[in-house]
Structure 1
Amino acid sequence: MEILDPALQAYLEQHCPPEPKMLITINRETHLKVLKANMLSGHYQGRLLSMLSKMLQPKCILEIGTYTGYATICLAEGLVEGGEIHTIEVNLEMEEMIRKNFKNSGFEDRIFPHFGDAAQIILELSDKNYDIVFIDADKKSNYAYFQLIIDQLKPGGVIIVDNVLWKGKVYNQANDTDTRTIREFNKLISTDDRVEQLILPVRDGIMLIRKKQL
């Protein structure tokens, strides 16, 4: 289920930059070959990620949850000269497709894929200071990831968290475990005085979390 009406979604896509050909290919291949293809960021959300990255001009990005690399490439579009993006995927079966997509993207030299447990890999990357972090992995770990990376996020840096409206369940009466977990995450972030946050009703809900300046 999408939060936005399909007609509105179509209108938004008609009035944003076109989906790059390379991403059209990844989009199509993901839907043909990969389970749960709805996890893909897609055209409109991808252009949002690209624009945010271009506005922030990041030197270092962390992505938790690579999937097929669509969002990774969108974020890489805004990297400054010499910038890099580190992306983590737990599913080793995705590695061949991910590496192929990065090789064909034109950003291969800036993208550093990591495969395995995200929490462990984040600790191994503890020398990095991030301008952007994109969290789109196992939802039960959202807050754990936030706590792990908040000190590595530069002041003024932004964390982007996907699926925070959870098919509309978080603001309805749903009370299943996943919904409660995401609802609690949203509440914890809204009361954390280290950051300021805003939820955008894009696809399944995107939260922007900006770390306050010192």
Structure 2
Amino acid sequence: MTIAKPLPSYLVNRYHGWRATTYAENKSWHRRLAEDGQRPRFMVIACCDSRVDIPAVLGATTGDIFLHRNIANLIPPFEPDGEKHGTSAAIEYAVNFLKVAHIIIVAHSDCGGVKGCHDMCAGDAPEFEQKTSFIGRWLDILRPGYERVSTVEDRGARLTALEQQSVIVSLENLAKFPFVEKAMAEETLTLHGMWFDIGEGRLESYDSEMDSFYPV
């Protein structure tokens, strides 16, 4: 069996177009990044959703953002138990080695991962309850958030509230990582939470003192 095949021709053509334009116009910057290494000021943890282009939304250029994506932009609890933790490893690298000044968690509207968590916790997605479901076990991280919003009567409002809980639960978990807690205490790192409305192009920021999101 052939494990990997050549890229589709349309992707190859897109690459050549990028190299002939964007790269050619910024060649010296790319070479400087290659020689000097990366020094991003921000780490962004976002959902895998293809509709959420965070670098574009934040006006970022190459080298600005250390970007990590996962299902529903979740951060697991600090549990160094020998298991493989891609998200936790990315956070450790960003804080301890890249010395980023900000970590921003970005959730979004119409999130399939959040909807999956909602349906699983409501008993409507038994496939995610299986121990063999990678998705289900990952979405267990958001169960505390579901419990907080489960009494919201309107389903649409409940899903939006759970999307925003994905930010809040993740911030709560992130703040308990010892090296994150230390950097925050030394005032070298600040944490932020955002929710992005795909259809409206609206970005909202989380205020932990008010426990609410507001338009930026």
Q: Quick check: TM above 0.5?
A: no
Larger gyration radius, structure 1 or structure 2: 2
Provide TM-score, normalisation by structure 1: 0.31
